[in-house]
């Protein structure tokens, strides 16, 4: 006897995330939480795509009518040459983390920086306009954050990094507010963002600090982009010094929420996505 199709069916809309490695990615989990909350017949999958397969993978997005994919390491830069359109922000940053397939036309965008700004607003009621900010690190996440703080009207965006070349490039992306800074700039800054990989669970630097806690204190917001563990040594130290703190879970959720909104045209269910992220990383 014929039964009504169950999920997934032949009409289920497919999205996903491409990267290498991919098994650790929380994107499918966050996307799926959103689709379930929205009652959409959609599915999100992780696709392990090595560097030599990137061209085939992008052709597959078109050929299989995949609605969109998130992009993670190592493809955020290299995928740009394969797309039809690049948003101005992604172009300025030289990085794409979200591809939307509009009837075969692939547009690349970046939701990392805008997701960070949304996380500041929702999680800490913090508006960067006119504020002094310090960004620790100069990698992909740091550049996205520095650019977003510049766009959001920060008065000063000091990029602090071990090697000056990458710091200068990240500072330039922040626009007129950007400059290469030093750790002592954190003293009295309105916002301090830890955007290095220091402190990540399972790495040599787990439990380490990237800045002296004495530079942090009341009146400041300290954000650690590392979300595993949720309470890093820096978050712990900043709390003890009387600063307000925010974990990387906020940016993780909001960058994914912006992708969901681009693909579905619907408002992302932040509560459901937050719950899924918090359960996955062990946050309360
Ligand atoms: P990346 O490899 O591009 O950059 C890493 C940065 O860390 C570089 O500037 C490097 O110089 C610096 N660094 C590494 N070890 C250091 C050390 N011992 N001392 C000082 N600086 C050091 O990586 P990325 O993509 O920019 O990611 C950085 C971190 O941000 C990672 O932990 C990642 O998980 C996190 N992240 C979080 C989110 C989120 O949504 N919360 C999004 C992107 C990245």
Q: Is residue 5 part of a domain?
A: no
Q: Which residues line ligand 1 (CB under 6 A)?
A: 112, 137-142, 161-162, 166, 195-198, 200, 205, 210, 225-227, 248, 251-252, 255
Report CA(146)–ligand 1 centroid distance (Å): 13
pLDDT of residue 181: 97
To test the pocket of ligand 1, the residue of 71, 75, 113, 141 to mutate (highest count of ligand atoms within 8 Å of its CB) is 141
Is the domain of 153 the same as that of 67? Answer: no
pLDDT of residue 202: 82
How high is the mean pLDDT of the chain? 94
CB contact set of 244 (below 8 Å; sequence gap of 6+): 124, 220, 221, 222
Is the domain of 157 the same as that of 71? Answer: no
Q: Are 242 and 218 in contact (CB under 8 A)?
A: yes
CATH of the domain at 100: 3.40.50.10860
Is the domain of 66 the same as that of 156? Answer: no
Task: Quote the pTM value.
Answer: 0.94
Is the domain of 106 the same as that of 120? Answer: no
Report CA(136)–ligand 1 centroid distance (Å): 9
Q: Is residue 127 part of a domain?
A: yes
At 5, the pLDDT band (50, 70, 90 cuts) reads low
Residue 76 annotated as catalytic? yes
Domain range enclosing 18? 13-110+255-281
Determine which one of 65, 76, 91, 131 is catalytic. Answer: 76
pLDDT, tens digit, 9 for 90 and up, residues 69-122: 999 999 999 999 999 999 999 999 999 999 999 999 999 999 999 999 999 999
Q: Is residue 3 part of a domain?
A: no
Both structure tokens of 88: 């101005």
Could you tell me which of 78, 27, 84, 83 has the C-alpha nearest to residue 53?
Answer: 78
pLDDT, tens digit, 9 for 90 and up, residues 14-35: 999 999 999 989 999 999 999 9
Is the domain of 58 the same as that of 172? Answer: no
pLDDT of residue 123: 94
Q: Is residue 7 part of a domain?
A: no
Share of the chain above pLDDT 70, in %: 98
User: Residue whose CA is closest, atom 2 of ligand 1?
Assistant: 139
Is the domain of 148 the same as that of 195? Answer: yes
User: Residue whose CA is closest, atom 44 of ligand 1?
Assistant: 141
pLDDT of residue 248: 94
Helix 27-38 vs helix 270-281: angle between axes, to the nearest 10 degrees? 140
Share of the chain above pLDDT 90, in %: 88
Could you tell me which of 144, 137, 83 has the C-alpha nearest to residue 113?
Answer: 144
pLDDT of residue 283: 66
pLDDT, tens digit, 9 for 90 and up, residues 213-256: 999 999 999 999 998 888 999 999 999 999 999 999 999 999 99
Is the domain of 235 the same as that of 265? Answer: no
Q: Is residue 75 part of a domain?
A: yes
Q: Is residue 1 part of a domain?
A: no
pLDDT, tens digit, 9 for 90 and up, residues 172-210: 999 999 999 999 999 999 999 999 989 888 888 888 888
Is the domain of 192 the same as that of 137? Answer: yes
CATH of the domain at 209: 3.40.50.720
Number of domains into which the chain is organized: 2
pLDDT of residue 282: 81
Point out the ligand 1 atom lying closest to the alpha carbon of residue 142.
26
Is the domain of 126 the same as that of 50? Answer: no
Is the domain of 189 the same as that of 94? Answer: no
Say whether pLDDT at 1 is over 70: no
Q: Is residue 234 part of a domain?
A: yes
Is the domain of 122 the same as that of 237? Answer: yes
Is the domain of 84 the same as that of 125? Answer: no
pLDDT of residue 44: 98
Q: Is residue 132 part of a domain?
A: yes
Q: Are 41 and 12 in contact (CB under 8 A)?
A: yes
């Amino acid at each position: 006897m014929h039964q009504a199709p169950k999920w997934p069916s032949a009409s289920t809309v497919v999205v996903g995330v491409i990267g290498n490695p991919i098994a650790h990615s929380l994107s499918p989990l966050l996307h799926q939480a959103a689709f379930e909350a929205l009652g959409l017949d959609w599915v999100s999958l992780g696709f392990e795509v090595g560097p030599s397969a990137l061209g085939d993978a992008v052709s597959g997005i078109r050929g299989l009518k995949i609605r969109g994919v998130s992009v993670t390491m190592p493809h955020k830069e290299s995928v740009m040459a394969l797309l039809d359109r690049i948003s101005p922000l992604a172009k300025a940053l030289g990085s794409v983390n979200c591809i939307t397939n509009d009837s075969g036309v692939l547009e690349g965008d970046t939701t990392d920086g805008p997701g960070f700004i949304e996380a500041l607003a929702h999680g800490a009621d913090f508006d960067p306009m006119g504020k002094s900010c310090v960004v620790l690190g100069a990698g992909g996440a740091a550049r996205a954050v520095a650019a977003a703080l510049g766009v959001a009207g920060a008065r000063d965006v000091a990029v602090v990094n071990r090697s000056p070349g990458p710091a200068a490039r990240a500072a330039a992306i922040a626009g007129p507010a950007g400059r290469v800074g030093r750790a002592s700039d954190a003293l009295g800054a309105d916002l301090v963002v830890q955007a290095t990989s220091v402190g990540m669970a399972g790495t040599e630097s787990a439990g380490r600090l990237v800045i002296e806690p004495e530079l942090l204190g009341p009146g400041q917001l300290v954000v650690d982009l590392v979300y595993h563990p949720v309470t890093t040594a820096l978050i712990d130290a900043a709390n003890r010094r009387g600063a307000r703190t925010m974990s990387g879970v906020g940016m993780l959720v909001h960058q994914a929420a912006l992708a969901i909104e681009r693909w579905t045209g619907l408002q992302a269910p932040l509560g459901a996505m937050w719950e899924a992220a918090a359960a996955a990383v062990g946050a309360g």
